[in-house]
């Protein structure tokens, strides 16, 4: 964790330094919808007909190292596994990749204090993956670590996939429902054997989330259970047999178990964080005898 935090702080510092360079106007074209590691990118530009994303969005502390060379005002990005080093300057139409000049499809662009780079260059040069979904006209991008998480999410061990699922950024298909309930615990409910759809309840707000074949977590339904803010979306059918995990912050404990088709709860385990210190931060646990039933394999897993 400390190593990840150090790399992340360095990365954000570099982005802040680079934005002080010269700015380049971007053509007022409607950008395409882009997801990076499952997160919808709100700030996307189209420059010279190319999709540009913020450098800050393509972050992968486990694989990428960022540094800044003050004398030449150069940002340096290194992929440790690929042994690839990229050197970039604000306003430049070229980059140095392992010492060789590479022409960019669009110049390094600085707009409103943020640095943008061509998306395809970022993903291909730094070891990411890129896919265009023609059905909903979106670009799906993953960093090296993001691609590994995606593989686990789609076809990995059930408990690992569920953990990735609940930490995948969500996208709304309807208005956002807010609630004024108190946040003493968070509960997650999954259909038995599944990781790609679940319900989460926090502060009295229930959300039903489905993860599609591109790894995008979509909030299909929301309901305020303690106030008068109503609901949005379509309520899902009952999960029938399911499993639950209740993370109680106040009591510093995690309870988990099964729910039968009649809605009867059966608690199968308790983790006391003050006693089982190795489990601090663990939000889900494996359920004995449960096997995964929703494995998916697609082209981005190859």
Over residues 108-161, the pLDDT tens digits come to 988 887 788 999 898 889 888 999 888 888 999 999 999 999 999 999 999 999
Q: Are 52 and 174 in a shared domain?
A: no
What pLDDT score does 298 carry?
Answer: 67
More confident residue, 242 or 277: 242
Q: Which domain holds residue 21?
A: 2-142
Q: Is pLDDT above 60 for 57?
A: yes
pLDDT above 90 (res 17): no
Instruction: Name the domain boundary from 91, 109, 142.
Output: 142
Based on the fold, state whether residues 213 and 270 are members of the same structural domain: yes
- Residue 36 located in a structural domain: yes
- Between CA 157 and CA 173 the distance in angstroms is 29
Picking from 142, 175, 204, the residue at the C-terminal end of a domain is 142
Same-domain status, 49 and 82: yes
Indicate whether 171 and 137 sit together in one domain: no
Q: Are 186 and 290 part of one and the same domain? A: yes
Would you state the pLDDT for residue 30? 56
Same domain, 135 and 171: no
Same domain? For 123 and 46 the reply is yes
Q: Are residues 19 and 133 in the same domain?
A: yes
Domain presence at residue 81: yes
| Number of domains forming the structure of the chain | 2
Q: Are residues 132 and 245 in the same domain?
A: no
Specify whether 123 is located in the same domain as 62. Answer: yes
Examine the fold and report which residue of 79, 111, 142 is the final residue of a domain before the chain moves on.
Answer: 142
32 and 129 both lie in a single domain: yes
How sure is the predictor about 99, in pLDDT bands with cuts at 50, 70 and 90? very high
- Kindly state whether residue 8 falls inside one of the protein's structural domains: yes
20 occurs within a structural domain = yes
Query: How many CA atoms does the CB half-sphere of 242 hold within 13 Å?
Result: 20
- Model confidence at 25: pLDDT above 60: no
Nearest to 80 by CA among 142, 16, 145: 145
Q: How far is C-alpha 131 from the chain's CA centre?
A: 16
**Any domain includes 231:** yes
Q: Are residues 176 and 103 in the same domain?
A: no
pTM: 0.85
The answer as to whether 199 is a domain residue is yes
């Amino acid at each position: 964790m400390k190593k990840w935090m150090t790399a992340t702080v360095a990365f954000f510092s570099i982005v802040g330094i680079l934005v002080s360079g010269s700015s380049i106007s971007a053509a007022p074209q409607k950008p395409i919808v882009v997801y990076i590691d499952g997160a919808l990118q709100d700030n996307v530009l189209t420059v010279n007909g190319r999709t540009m994303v913020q450098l800050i969005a393509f972050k992968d502390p486990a694989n990428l190292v960022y540094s800044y060379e003050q004398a030449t005002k150069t940002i340096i990005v290194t992929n440790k596994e690929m042994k690839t080093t990229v050197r970039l300057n604000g306003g430049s139409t070229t980059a140095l990749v392992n010492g060789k000049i590479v022409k960019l499809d669009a110049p390094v662009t600085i707009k409103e204090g943020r640095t943008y780079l061509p998306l395809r260059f970022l993903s291909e040069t730094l070891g990411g993956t890129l896919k265009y979904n023609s059905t909903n006209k979106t670009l799906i991008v993953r960093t090296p670590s993001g691609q590994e998480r995606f593989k686990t999410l789609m076809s990995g061990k059930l408990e690992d996939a569920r953990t990735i699922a609940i930490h995948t950024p969500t996208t709304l298909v309807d208005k956002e429902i807010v609630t004024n309930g108190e946040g003493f615990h968070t509960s997650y409910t999954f259909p038995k054997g599944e990781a790609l759809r679940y319900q989460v309840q926090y502060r009295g707000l229930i959300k039903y989330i489905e993860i599609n074949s591109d790894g995008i977590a979509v909030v299909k339904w929301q309901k305020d259970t303690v106030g008068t803010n109503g609901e949005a979306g379509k309520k899902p059918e009952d999960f029938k047999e399911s499993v639950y995990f209740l993370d109680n912050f106040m009591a510093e404990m995690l309870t988990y178990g099964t729910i039968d088709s009649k809605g009867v709860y059966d608690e199968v385990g308790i983790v006391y964080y003050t006693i089982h210190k190795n489990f601090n931060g663990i939000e889900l646990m494996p359920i004995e005898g449960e096997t995964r039933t929703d494995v998916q394999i697609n082209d981005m897993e190859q």
